Amino acid sequence: MTTTATTLKGQPLDRTTLDAMLRRRMFYTPSFEIYGGVSGLYDYGPPGCALQQGVLDVWRKHFILEEDMLEVDCTVLTPHDVLKTSGHVDKFADSMCKDPKNGEIFRADHFIEEILENRLKGDKEARGEKAVVKEEDPKKKRKTKAAAVAVRLDDAVVQEYEEVLAKIDNYNTQELGELIQKYDLKNPATGLQPLPPVDFNLMFATSIGPSSNLPGYLRPETAQGQFLNFSKLLEFNQQQMPFASASIGRSYRNEISPRSGLLRVREFLMAEIEHFVDPQGGKKHPRFNEVKDVELVLLNRETQLSGKTHVQKVTIGQAVADGTVDNETLGYFLARIHLFLKKIGVDQTKIRFRQHMANEMAHYAADCWDAELLTSYGWIECVGCADRSAYDLSVHAKKTGASLIVRERLPEPIKVTEWEIDIDRKKFGPYYKKDGRAVELALFDTTQSQREQLAKDLAETGSINIAAPLVYYGRATIPGDLIKIEQRTRTENVREFVPNVIEPSFGIGRILYALMEHSYWTRASDGGDESRGVLSFPPTVAPTKVIIVPLSNNDAFRPFCYEISQKLRKIGVSNRIDDSSATIGKRYSRNDELGTPLGITIDFQTIQDKTITLRDRDSTKQVRATEDQILAAIRSVVDGTKTWQDIESELPAFLGQETEVAIR
Amino acid sequence: MTTTATTLKGQPLDRTTLDAMLRRRMFYTPSFEIYGGVSGLYDYGPPGCALQQGVLDVWRKHFILEEDMLEVDCTVLTPHDVLKTSGHVDKFADSMCKDPKNGEIFRADHFIEEILENRLKGDKEARGEKAVVKEEDPKKKRKTKAAAVAVRLDDAVVQEYEEVLAKIDNYNTQELGELIQKYDLKNPATGLQPLPPVDFNLMFATSIGPSSNLPGYLRPETAQGQFLNFSKLLEFNQQQMPFASASIGRSYRNEISPRSGLLRVREFLMAEIEHFVDPQGGKKHPRFNEVKDVELVLLNRETQLSGKTHVQKVTIGQAVADGTVDNETLGYFLARIHLFLKKIGVDQTKIRFRQHMANEMAHYAADCWDAELLTSYGWIECVGCADRSAYDLSVHAKKTGASLIVRERLPEPIKVTEWEIDIDRKKFGPYYKKDGRAVELALFDTTQSQREQLAKDLAETGSINIAAPLVYYGRATIPGDLIKIEQRTRTENVREFVPNVIEPSFGIGRILYALMEHSYWTRASDGGDESRGVLSFPPTVAPTKVIIVPLSNNDAFRPFCYEISQKLRKIGVSNRIDDSSATIGKRYSRNDELGTPLGITIDFQTIQDKTITLRDRDSTKQVRATEDQILAAIRSVVDGTKTWQDIESELPAFLGQETEVAIR
């Protein structure tokens, strides 16, 4: 699919210009720039911080307060054992390969993709076809800087390359190495094949404490801290299910070679929700009804499998009813995510929810839908909404012996018939000596159907043989006099279960970047100056709500500015005074670039009759009224009860020349 | 000085009880507890998070918004070079020693302190004196667990020990080793002297990127990111001075052996301000007048040097006027810090500002005052207010060549007479070859008075000899034909200077802990139950403002609860419904422990006449009125315009039996 990024007003978006503006206005800046910078690390400046704060405020209200979630704030430092259990030590890795000559390092899948795409491009040129400009994918790093050479390929080869590219996320490290060899893929910079790829774990390692005996990592997600606190949270929630915990905090990924600006960084802010739900009864959600009519744009797994990208716009109620979205809880959160993105000002035409393919899901996920936002880098995953099933709670419970379960009193006692194993401990211990514990664990790890078979074996042969991974040779034979295996029926009053987890996980930095692209346009769209950029953030999240601009730096204006500033602050409206010596037009332009929705001008008439003017960033139109009227208007625009159109219809227009001349 | 911690109502504070309550209510919890925990790492649970959020909200309004500070959000990951320049790689270390047998690790100064104090205690016992219970110092870790043995010491030895203890912060690693040898200090657990102490850097090390070629650390403070962005921030502030940047974020210290709960942790939240000020003109502050009458409790350097701890309560205006506090800017921030602590509910009788002794200041500080809060661990440093002079900007500028200066147009041009050095580059380069750059740097690094002397030397001897640290042998002789040194007068229109930095630095976790101790009391103070704890947080920072309690879990109450909850949320008041099956008394008790200031009861009368009751946490008194009246009352208490006393005098009292019976 070819996509071209557009501004808020639909014109082509020039990312270079926008990026220069965002840096000039210090929305963000590369970290440690005077030391040469470090790729993948960025700082936010004042407007970036304020925008982030505004988005987090909305997030906190929309999710934590509105849904009574239990917020936790856990440490970033995480001991090795926790992340070993969660699977991150073994599986949270990318394949990396190195050029044998210049030492350049590539992510193996990106390296292969890039070279094969180049060959296909060369083939198209050789065939005289125009190469289709593919939507840029931020996952790819244009590192090899290879130019396509017009070489025609066999049709069979073209098809083979295309199949490889379609499955690129599917290969493991060894297979990627085989592809590099098979197609003789070379680094254009040196003309050499890179060394065989190796796994590179993406976690930052460190050592906790003075004696280096406690290896640890910077967490790759905030989720683990929430899982480890599950029992305490359930207790805090007075044992009531379902409930959700939430956490806002930094996470870390030691990307192999980060590019794509703010979209692929090594240190980033996440906001994650872990909603704990009973796996029985279809994962219903008590408030699903409130969102069932919310319309979402969905791109499901089947559509993608058929090689297409067409989307359907359906209500979430329908999507859950027809099984496109697996259950109410997952559906509820997709709708809530959509409403959140809408609230902060994300362009409604640039959101879609894409279901993960089976092979691209994280190791812990059972199902996953991403909220993707369309930017000049293509469709970007900004919010993941995964069903982690009972994976994490189960593995931590198993590893630590902690009871990470819910105990629910049954309305009626039930009878349970199960195969049970008794051990004759007096004989068992002495028989196995040091292997006793390992054999016992293996024995109790058997499923009901295995036990049924074992009971049969025992009756028939007088002994059983089981898999026992921790014992030498991996198997153990148990004589019949050490154990008993019987089917018994017992009465239970309490049901125990491990909750499943639905996890909406927000990449705040990515959302902020998409929001900046979606809010950007230039005055050229209104027939004005192309070089005048505007960021039309909604007042809720705008870094500063009001800029106060005296006509000049005449001392007479100072007390008026200060007084209005204080009054606005008292009603909770953030504002700044700009009394620099630039023209009013320039000062307003600066604040258009900062996304300040409203501007107040103090002029000589203010001194005479105390009236002030209020300017709208988006239309540059102004009204003039008394201070009280203007303050009331500001308050209602900022808290969202009125729009600028309402204000314009209520208060007299002001045709101030000074600002318009400068802008047009 | 002996101090005993007290509750809000003045009774002795039992830390064990309070701590158990804070954990039970999940204000905080040890991180990774099901994995055995990691010392120095803690998580905040829901009420801890909400309290932290409340305190940060006040902080942001009080400092960033009220003073138009420029907030930045920088990365925690910091490359080695930055922290090498700042001095942290070399100087941010503690001395550590190890037991040769059991491998136990001690902080050397704490080890010495503890053993010597024990000997002095034994001496006192042998003399038949009662040992004075010293105020606990959270810096010390009772790790050796040595019991004092009653052994009488020589008077001279006693004096020597006391002198060592008084100067314990003064010794370097080698000297600490000598003390251990001299006094034969042994680990009671093994009876052995520990190995000679070594420096242990307190920063967590990691490696950035895949090739391990970029060593880095987790930042020990947020300040460096602010300094590195100085030029961009000055530009953002349209070149206006003075201005302040601010940052809220995590920092890390790999403590050798952290104890003292939340007071000494390895990962913590800081809020730091860097106020950049012109060093000329006495570091005046434009808003000093607004705070000059604020009274502070000061403990200055001279008093401490004389071995005393008596404090003086003075206005900051007077303290600056008489030189106790060096300048207006430092004084301004001390007052603002005090007002902030007051606003969030810190006990006014438990704050003092202590000036650092010369030997205890960080390597970058020129002067420093700590806001200390009295807790059961003694007086705890919670906010540092340091004058870092031009240290950081200077070293980073020198290292990177970046221009971290302010250029200010002079009102009148001035004539500057200075010794200047000219180099004859044609000769200089070939003469020194590879040392040329090093000799040149050393030459231009000379001061005006050195240059005057060098000019004299040059005239007299025909050559000069200067220190040149980067050259072999450390000195260089420069023949007279390579250089010229002359006194010249030039006209300047612009003044350049490196700003000084005043840095108020808040340890948010420590403030939260002190606030919890200061807010704590039990109903026993009012003649009630000793086991019923209360946390009397001010409504501004209380985790939840209102608890809504239906009389029972009768379904008829549900819609009322939900409706009131939604109405409160709409006016921005955080609230929770507690419809668990516990008695009303128990539910209120739970919320007293959570610090919830107001409670609403929904009972059968509510269903009839729509009136509801409002309960005050501190007095447990109640009023009853219509929903609208109660909502208005809540709003005014939460935004601070009214107190409970106002509400009580305006609305009719309600003598509900159900809650009082349970509480008393």
Write out the DSSP string of A396-460.
HHHHH-----EEEEEEEEEEEEEEEEEE-HHHHHHHHGGGHHHHHHHHHT--HHHHHHHHHHHHH
For chain A positions 209-238, those within 8 Å of chain B (CB to CB) are 209-211, 214, 216, 218, 225, 228-229, 231-233, 235-236, 238
- Alpha-carbon distance of A622 to A652, in angstroms, equals 9
Q: Return the axis-axis angle of helices B108-126 and B155-166, rounded to nearest 10°.
A: 150
For an interface test with B, give the residue of A28, A84, A107, A208 to mutate (most B CBs within 10 A). A208
Closest partner residue to A49 (CB to CB) among B72, B75, B207 is B72
Evaluate whether A249 touches A360 at the Cβ level (below 8 Å): no
Rounded average pLDDT over A527-545: 93
Report the gap between the CA of B182 and the closest CA in chain A (Å): 26
Which residues 189-208 of B are in CB contact (within 8 Å) with A? 200, 204-208
Q: Where does CATH 3.30.720 sit in chain A?
A: 414-495
Residue A365 has pLDDT above 90, yes or no: no
What's the confidence (pLDDT) of residue A131?
56
Task: Residue A77: list chain B partners with CB under 8 A.
Answer: 38, 41, 204, 252, 266-267
Considering only alpha carbons, which residue of chain B is nearest residue A509?
B73
pLDDT digits (tens, 9 = 90+) for B531-578: 899 999 999 999 999 999 999 888 899 999 999 999 998 888 999 999
Tell me phi and psi for residue A434, to 5 degrees.
-65, -20
Residue A18 is which amino acid?
A: L
- Min Cα distance B577 → chain A (Å) is 9
Interacting residues of A132 by C-beta distance below 8 A, sequence separation 6+: A2
Residue A557 has pLDDT above 70, yes or no: yes
Average pLDDT over residues A52-72: 95
Identify the band that residue A144 occupies on the pLDDT scale cut at 50, 70 and 90. low
- In 3-state terms, what secondary structure has residue A582? coil
Q: Do A74 and B31 touch (CB under 8 A)?
A: yes
Q: What is the pLDDT of residue B300?
A: 87
Alpha helices in A551-626 (DSSP H): 558-570, 584-593, 604-609
Among all chains, which residue has been given the structure tokens 């995480």?
A78
Contact B181, B116 (CB under 8 A): no
Query: Distance (Å) from the C-alpha of residue A400 to the closest C-alpha of chain B?
Result: 6
User: What is the fold, at CATH topology level, of the domain defined by B93-201?
Assistant: Herpes Virus-1 (3.30.40)
Where are the CATH 3.30.930.10 domain residues in chain A? Answer: 15-86+203-391+503-507
Taking CA atoms, what residue in A is nearest to B43?
A74
Coil/strand/helix, residue A511: helix
From the options 3.30.70, 3.30.450, 3.30.1360, 3.30.720, give the CATH code of A414-495: 3.30.720
Residue identified by tokens 């190995």 is B195
**Cα–Cα distance for residue pair B324/B331, rounded to 1 Å:** 10
User: Which CATH fold would you assign to the domain B544-663?
Assistant: Rossmann fold (3.40.50)
Condensed to tens digits (0 to 9), the pLDDT of residues B332-365 reads 999 999 999 999 999 999 999 999 887 777 776 7
Do residues B448 and B418 touch, judged by C-beta distance below 8 A?
yes
A15-86+203-391+503-507: which CATH architecture? 2-Layer Sandwich (3.30)
Nearest CB among B103, B231, B569 relative to A65 is that of B569
How far B118 CA lies from chain A's nearest CA (Å)?
Answer: 26
Interface check for A46 against chain B (CB to CB < 8 A): the answer is yes
Q: What is the DSSP pairing of strand B475-479 with strand A463-467?
A: unpaired
Average pLDDT over residues A514-540: 93
Give the residue range(s) of CATH 3.30.930.10 domains in chain B: 15-86+218-391
Are A79 and B236 within 8 A, CB to CB?
A: no
Residue A246: the pLDDT is 98
Query: Looking at beta carbons, which residues of chain A come within 8 Å of B204?
Result: 77, 206-208
Which residues, including other chains, have CB under 8 Å from residue B425's CB and lie 6 or more apart? Answer: none
Q: Which of A:471-500 have CB within 8 Å of B?
A: none
pLDDT for the residue numbered A626: 95
Q: Specify the 3-state DSSP secondary structure of A65.
A: helix
Residues of chain A with CATH 3.30.40.230: 93-201
* Residue type for position A134: K
Cβ–Cβ gap B71/A79 under 8 Å:
no
Hunting for tokens 């610090």 — which residue is that?
B595
Pick the CATH number of B15-86+218-391 from 3.20.20.70, 3.30.300.210, 3.30.465.10, 3.30.930.10: 3.30.930.10
- Predicted pLDDT at B581: 86
Which one of A46, A205, A580 has the shortest CB-CB distance to B238? A580
Q: Do A43 and B75 touch (CB under 8 A)?
A: yes
Contacts of B81 in chain A (CB under 8 A): 35
Q: Hey, what long-range contacts does A643-648 have (CB within 8 A, 24 or more apart)?
A: A644/A616, A644/A618, A644/A619, A647/A614, A647/A616, A647/A623, A648/A616, A648/A621, A648/A623
Contact B165, B115 (CB under 8 A): no
| CB nearest B45 (choices: A43, A46, A72) | A72
The distance in angstroms from the start CA to the end CA of chain B is 37
Residue among A43, A73, A266 minimizing CB distance to B73: A43
Q: According to CATH, where is 3.30.720 located in chain B?
A: 413-490
**Nearest CB partner across the interface for A31, out of B75, B211, B576:** B75
Is the N-terminal amide bond of A242 cis, ω within 30° of 0? Answer: yes
Q: Hey, which residues 92-111 in chain B have their CB within 8 Å of chain A?
A: 96, 103, 105
Fill in the amino acid letter for B118. Answer: N
> Mind listing the pLDDT tens digit for each residue in A146-198?
667 888 888 899 988 988 887 787 788 999 999 999 999 999 999 999 999 99
Taking 70 as the threshold, does the pLDDT of residue A658 lie above it? no
| Chain A from 528 to 567: CB within 8 A of any B CB | none
Determine the residue among B25, B34, B214, B565 to mutate to test chain A binding: the one whose Cβ has the most chain A Cβ atoms within 10 Å.
B34
Low-confidence residues of chain B: pLDDT under 70: 1-3, 130-147, 212, 307, 364, 656-664
What percentage of chain A has pLDDT greater than the value 70?
Answer: 95
Q: Give the pLDDT confidence score for residue B306 in this predicted structure.
A: 76
Q: Which CATH number fits domain B413-490: 3.40.50, 3.30.720, 3.30.60, 3.30.460?
A: 3.30.720
Q: How far is B565 from chain A (nearest CA, A)?
A: 10
| Identity of the amino acid at B198 | V
Question: Looking at chain B, which residue has its C-alpha nearest residue A579?
Answer: B238
| Residue B435: count of CB within 10 angstroms of its CB | 15
Q: Which of B232, B238, B574 sits opposite A29 (nearest CB)?
A: B232
Which residue from A minimizes the CA distance to B402?
A34
Which member of A43, A229, A240 has the closest CB to residue B43?
A229
A141 band by pLDDT with thresholds 50, 70 and 90: very low
The residues, ordered by sequence, that sit 6+ positions from B647 with a Cβ below 8 Å of its Cβ are B614, B616, B623, B633, B636, B637
In chain B, list all ranges with CATH 3.40.50.800.
Answer: 544-663
What is the rounded average pLDDT for all residues in chain B?
Answer: 90
B335, B296 Cβ separation under 8 angstroms: yes
What gap in Å lies between CA B272 and CA B246, rounded to an integer?
A: 6
pLDDT number for residue B2: 41
